[in-house]
């Protein structure tokens, strides 16, 4: 049947706002995968979708065909004794939650096959953070990945070329044709990869605020509702939490600096950053409730906290690191293994006041400037560069107090941060109200709960 379709006619249909059928979308995705759809045609199709949008059925069809463009993980033969569940974040500055969340949920009986990305733009990547641990192999084959998930309860790895390959080509085209911001295409891009993991349930963390991709709250709502609808329509129950990204999540940014904060979090949860702890537990609770491991969120929160406070989650994390090639004693001796910088120094506040605003996106971009992140996917990164002990909104600082500790390669980098960082942090003589952490929770129905 596919020989009856002409790419230019399907592009014309979408350009004119006409709904595409499932076979037509399947034909286009096949063309993306096998190269029969040219870059020019793919760019034109992306722009047509960007301008005219897609119906829910079209989004479901596009997601499914992109998911099936490569391998999909099947878990039946492993005879797991619990649900397969995952979380995905749209990315933020200092968002290190996956590193604690996966072992917490695994400690509570879930199986978490977390396939994570690298950082691009102003946000960091989970895989980059983990690769600051010496020996860590984020690219095992599927067989080892699945057996690790069964044995340990979780494994965090990078996307392989065989997982939703149509998305890789499509995203690269969108990146250079100003069509990245399409809600329809973002939905299909995220879910084609996540649903290829064979999930029983999915929780999404949609960031909004000045440090988020969806800086506009309305866009965050539209994306959350689209993902919840498409994923649930595809057979995977999904909840989307819209969460704040107007300040760094936790108190560190970078790669090794964030891993260090995660280790402290797992070992000493009572001393963890409050917002980081609350969001981690809330996401874990939704994963447990949605996957059927707990009946309600109250019990799920309690179970998640017990897994963390008992040290069980820390033990699972240590085992995952070791099984993927990292040191066996990372939790006991982090300083022995994580890269340390020659220059570690305080960036001081030029004045006194309450922290009222932080330009989080610019903080992320400052890290890219120092090679802790990348501007294109092939850029190497410096895992040791970063910030720790970053101030929070609402906190009082005196002139000369520390705004953040800079972990630098040399004095020039320190000088750059001493000049840049204070200009990104606004002080006020009056204390602001604390920022809401979770704005809204959306499911596939029209119902939503407000926090």
The residues annotated with a catalytic role in the active site are: 86-89, 126, 174, 189, 193-194
**What angle do helix axes 97-107 and 256-267 make, rounded to 10 degrees?**
30
Taking CA 65 as the corner, what is the angle to CA 2 and CA 181, rounded to the nearest 5 degrees? 115
Burial (CB count within 10 angstroms: exposed 0-12, middle 13-18, buried 19+), residue 245: buried
Token pair, residue 252, equals 């560190």
Instruction: Please tell me the distance from the alpha carbon of residue 348 to that of residue 403, in angstroms, as a whole number.
Output: 6
Query: Mapped to the 3 state alphabet, what secondary structure does the chain carry?
Result: CHHHCCHHHHHHHHHCCCCCCHHHHHHHHHHHHHCCCCHHHHHHHHHHHHHHCCCHHHHHHHHHHHHCCCCCCCCHHHCCCCCEEEEEECCCCCCCHHHHHHHHHHHCCCEEEEEECCCECCECCHHHHHCCCCCCCCCCCHHHHHHHHHHHCEEEEECCCCCCHHHHHHHHHHHCCCCCCCHHHHHHHHHHHHHCCCCCEEEEEEEECCCCCECCHHHHHHHHHHHHHHHHHCCCCEEEEEEECCCCCCCCEECHHHHHHHHHHHHCHHHCCHHHHHHHHHHHHHHHHHCCCCCCHHHHHHHHHHHHHCCHHHHHHHHHHHHCCCCCCCCCCHHHHCCCCCEEEEEECCCCEEEEEECHHHHHHHHHHCCCCCCCCCCCCCCCCEEECCCCCCCEECCCCEEEEEEECCHHHHHHHHHHHHHHEEEECCCCCCCCCEEEEECCCCCEEEC
Query: In DSSP terms, which residues pair with 365 in a beta bridge?
Result: none
């Amino acid at each position: 049947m596919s020989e009856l379709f002409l790419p230019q006619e399907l592009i014309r249909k979408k350009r004119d706002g006409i709904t595409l059928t499932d076979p037509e979308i399947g034909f286009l995705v096949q063309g993306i995968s096998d190269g029969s759809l040219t870059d020019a045609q793919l760019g034109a199709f992306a722009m047509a979708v960007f301008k005219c949008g897609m119906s829910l059925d079209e989004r479901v069809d596009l997601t499914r065909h992109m998911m099936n463009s490569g391998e999909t993980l099947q878990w039946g033969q492993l005879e797991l004794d619990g649900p397969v569940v995952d979380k995905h974040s749209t990315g933020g500055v200092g968002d290190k939650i996956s590193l604690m969340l996966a072992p917490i949920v695994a400690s509570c009986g879930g199986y978490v096959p977390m396939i994570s990305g690298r950082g691009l733009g102003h946000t960091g990547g989970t895989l980059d953070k983990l690769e600051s641990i010496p020996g860590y192999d984020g690219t095992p084959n599927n067989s080892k990945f699945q057996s690790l998930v069964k044995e340990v309860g979780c494994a965090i790895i990078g996307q392989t070329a065989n997982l939703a390959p149509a998305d890789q080509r499509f995203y690269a085209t969108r990146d250079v044709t100003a069509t990245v911001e399409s809600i329809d295409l973002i939905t299909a891009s995220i879910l084609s990869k996540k649903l290829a993991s064979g999930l029983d349930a999915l929780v999404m963390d949609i960031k909004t605020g000045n440090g988020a991709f969806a800086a506009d709250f309305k866009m965050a709502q539209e994306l959350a509702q689209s993902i919840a609808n498409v994923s649930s329509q595809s057979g995977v129950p999904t909840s989307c939490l819209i969460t704040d990204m107007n300040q760094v999540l936790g108190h560190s940014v970078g790669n090794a600096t964030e891993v260090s904060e995660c280790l402290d979090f797992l070992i000493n949860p009572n001393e963890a950053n409050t917002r980081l702890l609350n969001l981690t537990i809330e996401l874990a609770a939704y994963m447990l409730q949605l996957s059927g491991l707990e009946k309600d969120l109250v019990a799920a929160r309690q179970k998640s906290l017990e897994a963390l406070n008992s040290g069980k989650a820390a033990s699972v994390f240590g085992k995952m690191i070791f099984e993927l090639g990292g040191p066996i004693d990372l939790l006991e001796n982090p300083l022995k293994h994580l890269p340390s910088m020659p220059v570690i120094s305080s960036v001081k506040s030029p004045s006194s006041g309450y922290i009222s605003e932080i330009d989080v996106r610019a903080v992320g971009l400052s890290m890219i400037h120092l090679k802790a992140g990348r501007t294109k996917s092939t850029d190497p990164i410096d895992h040791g560069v970063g910030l720790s002990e970053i101030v929070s909104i609402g906190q009082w600082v005196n002139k000369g107090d520390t705004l953040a500790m800079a972990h630098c390669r040399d004095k020039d980098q320190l000088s750059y941060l001493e000049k840049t960082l204070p200009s990104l942090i606004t002080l006020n003589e009056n204390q602001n109200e604390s920022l809401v952490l979770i704005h809204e929770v959306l499911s596939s129905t029209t119902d939503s709960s407000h926090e």
